[in-house]
């Protein structure tokens, strides 16, 4: 379970004390539970009898749902039995592959392979014939499909088999069974190493070719450049051999990911790296690909706006001195993290959990506050609704004598403007009118409107937030 520390601080500027709401907030910051979750005890391959523990999770609704059989990885290089590497069939909290498919309306079965967790049996060594090891697992996976496919919640005519690491390898091996129910395979950085081979990389490539010679199921392969288990030259050779033997394999090389792309699926926000490609793949096969239950994936973070640099504390709108300390705490927090702002209040959500942005909005709603995201991770994502003109070199911000048109009263008002917190805007007109707006979410529009209410609509912004935006061109036009 990802560690979570959530801080919510709603601070009223006019108050001497701050209200704090701290805690786990799993309903907003943690992974949402499936609509239904169950543990099944099923038979494996009838030719090699064994009992397998199988998790089954369902999205909301009565179904029948298309089915994904999701296959787990292993902590052992050769996939052998190791009780230190238990697979808990009830725990999907670190697997965003499962949550991606739940969000698209699929039921997901999670078989625990023989020799792992609470399933029986043991893995049969196959030497350098790694495809045979995969086919043994595929026979168990097919046995699980035969039993789960009869359930009324399941549409067994539309089955996707997928997984990561050795689970991705086992998924590719399912294609050799030529089961008409399996219409797609999704392979996240799949493969297997064997200590029985002097050159297990070459054994893996050759085993991949043997699988491809039989399988004709369309597959999507997703690998990263800095995979610490299956390096880029290896998975490139695997894919090349697979395609040369007639296998249907679309490669998505998603580049480097943090320190090890082999852990992509453990990061909730990793879904934005692969969801578009996976959506397109499923859509081409006539399978559900639209986000049906958005709560199962994180909210898309807003695009960076470059309103300010992330560590410029003074630039954050609506903050007083106490609020700025709250923002400094945000800057020292771990990813993913979100900071939300509101007029006269500041809200911070700091979490290493599932969806800090959605959690922040939920917290604002609980406190009756309308909020906007200011920063997400290392990017500032807030901007004025009405864009401000770009900064100019017309004058220094604090130079009150440089302002054109206005009289002494206007210059005194500008001095007051300089003492106000952001967001703020000061506008002027050729007849000496001026107006300012501070603390308004859209200060440029508010100041221009107030100025225009008192005369012709010929007002222009002079200063916005921390910069003079008046230009010589604007001055020359009047």
Question: What pLDDT, in 10s, does the model give residues 289-330?
Answer: 999 999 999 999 999 998 999 999 999 999 888 888 989 999
Cα-Cα end-to-end distance for the chain: 64
| Of the candidates 403, 459, 472, the residue with the CA atom closest to the CA atom of residue 431 | 459
User: Is pLDDT at 333 greater than 70 in this prediction?
Assistant: yes
What are the CA-CA distances from residue 439 to residues 107, 344, 363, 420, 423 (Å)? 48, 7, 22, 8, 5
| Of the candidates 106, 388, 131, 390, the residue with the CA atom closest to the CA atom of residue 241 | 131
Check residue 148 and give its pLDDT.
97
Tokens of 214: 């039989």
Check residue 123 and give its pLDDT.
87
> What's the DSSP call for residue 140?
H
What are the CA-CA distances from residue 123 to residues 80, 113, 258, 369 (Å)? 6, 8, 32, 56
> What's the DSSP call for residue 389?
P
Q: Is residue 262 within 8 Å of residue 229, measured between CB atoms?
A: yes
Check residue 363 and give its pLDDT.
86
pLDDT single digits (tens) 337-357 = 999 999 877 677 776 678 999
Q: What is the mean pLDDT of residues 228-255?
A: 98
- Whether the bond between 64 and the residue before it is cis, its omega within 30 degrees of 0, is yes
User: Is pLDDT at 258 greater than 80 in this prediction?
Assistant: yes
| Of the candidates 392, 464, 393, 396, the residue with the CA atom closest to the CA atom of residue 428 | 464
- Provide CB contacts within 8 A for 200, sequence distance 6+: 128, 130, 193, 194
Sheet holding 434-438, edge to edge: 434-438, 424-428, 460-464, 467-468
Share of the chain above pLDDT 90, in %: 74
Tokens of 109: 């079965």
Coil, helix or strand for 197? coil
Q: Is residue 348 within 8 Å of residue 340, measured between CB atoms?
A: yes
Q: Is residue 59 within 8 Å of residue 292, measured between CB atoms?
A: yes
Would you tell me how many other CB atoms lie within 10 Å of the CB of residue 288? 17
| Rounded CA separation 134/202 (Å) | 16
Share of the chain above pLDDT 70, in %: 87
| Rounded CA separation 139/89 (Å) | 19
Residues forming CATH 3.40.50.1820 domain(s) in the chain: 36-296
| R_g of the chain, CA atoms, integer Å | 29
pLDDT bracket for residue 92 (50, 70, 90)? low
Would you tell me how many other CB atoms lie within 10 Å of the CB of residue 445? 16
Pick the CATH number of 36-296 from 3.40.190.10, 3.40.50.1820, 3.30.460.10, 3.40.50.2000: 3.40.50.1820
User: Is pLDDT at 478 greater than 80 in this prediction?
Assistant: no
Angle between helices 271-284 and 96-103 (to 10 degrees): 50
Check residue 20 and give its pLDDT.
30
Least confident range of 268-277, 320-329, 405-414, 419-428: 320-329
pLDDT bracket for residue 366 (50, 70, 90)? confident
Coil, helix or strand for 58? strand
Q: What is the mean pLDDT of residues 149-174?
A: 97
Check residue 1 and give its pLDDT.
29
Check residue 381 and give its pLDDT.
96
H/E element, 452: helix 443-452
User: Is pLDDT at 240 greater than 50 in this prediction?
Assistant: yes
User: Is pLDDT at 387 greater than 80 in this prediction?
Assistant: yes
Q: Alpha carbon 29 to chain centroid distance?
A: 13
Check residue 224 and give its pLDDT.
98
- The phi, psi pair for 314, rounded to 5°, reads -70, -20
């Amino acid at each position: 379970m990802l560690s979570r520390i959530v801080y919510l601080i709603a601070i009223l500027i006019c108050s001497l004390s701050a209200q704090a709401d701290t805690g786990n907030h799993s309903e907003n910051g943690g992974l949402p539970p499936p609509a239904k979750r169950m543990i099944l005890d099923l038979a494996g391959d009838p030719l090699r009898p064994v009992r397998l523990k199988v998790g089954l999770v369902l999205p909301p609704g009565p179904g029948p749902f298309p089915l994904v059989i999701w296959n787990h990885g292993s902590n052992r290089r050769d996939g052998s039995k190791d009780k230190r590497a238990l697979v808990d069939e009830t725990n999907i909290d670190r697997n965003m592959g499962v949550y991606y498919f739940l969000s698209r309306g699929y039921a997901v079965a999670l078989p625990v392979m023989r020799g792992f967790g609470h399933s029986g049996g043991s893995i049969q060594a196959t030497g350098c014939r790694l495809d045979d090891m995969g086919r043994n697992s595929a026979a168990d996976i097919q046995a699980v499909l035969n039993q789960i496919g009869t359930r009324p919640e399941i549409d067994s005519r539309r089955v996707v088999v997928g997984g990561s690491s050795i689970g991705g390898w086992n998924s590719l091996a399912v294609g050799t069974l030529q089961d008409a129910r399996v219409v797609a395979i999704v392979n996240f950085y799949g493969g297997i190493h064997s200590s029985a081979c002097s050159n297990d990389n070459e054994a893996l490539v050759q085993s991949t070719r043997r699988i491809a010679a039989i399988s004709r199921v369309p597959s999507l392969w997703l690998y990263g450049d800095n995979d610490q288990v299956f390096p880029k030259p290896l998975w490139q050779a695997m894919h090349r051999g697979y395609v040369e033997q007639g296998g249907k394999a679309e490669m998505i090389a998603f580049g480097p990911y943090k320190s090890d792309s082999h852990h992509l699926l453990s990061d909730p926000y990793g879904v934005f790296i692969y969801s578009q490609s996976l959506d397109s793949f499923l859509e081409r096969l006539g399978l559900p690909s639209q986000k049906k239950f958005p709560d199962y994936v994180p909210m898309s973070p807003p695009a960076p706006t470059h309103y300010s640099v992330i560590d410029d504390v003074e630039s954050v709108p609506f903050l007083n001195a106490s609020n700025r300390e709250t923002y400094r705490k945000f800057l020292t927090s771990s990813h993913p993290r979100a900071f939300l702002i509101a007029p006269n209040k500041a809200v911070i959500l700091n979490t290493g959990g599932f969806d800090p942005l959605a959690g922040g909005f939920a917290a604002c709603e609980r406190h009756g506050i309308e909020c906007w995201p200011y920063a997400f991770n290392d990017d500032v994502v807030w901007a004025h609704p009405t864009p401000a003109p770009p900064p100019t070199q017309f004058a220094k911000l604090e130079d009150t004598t440089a302002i054109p048109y206005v009289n002494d009263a206007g210059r005194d008002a500008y001095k007051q403007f300089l003492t106000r917190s952001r967001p703020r805007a000061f506008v002027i007109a050729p007849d000496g009118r001026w107006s300012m707006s501070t603390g308004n979410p859209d200060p440029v529009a508010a100041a221009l409107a107030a100025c225009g209410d008192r005369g012709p609509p010929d007002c222009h912004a002079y200063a916005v937030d921390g910069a003079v935006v008046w230009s010589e061109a604007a001055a020359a036009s009047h």
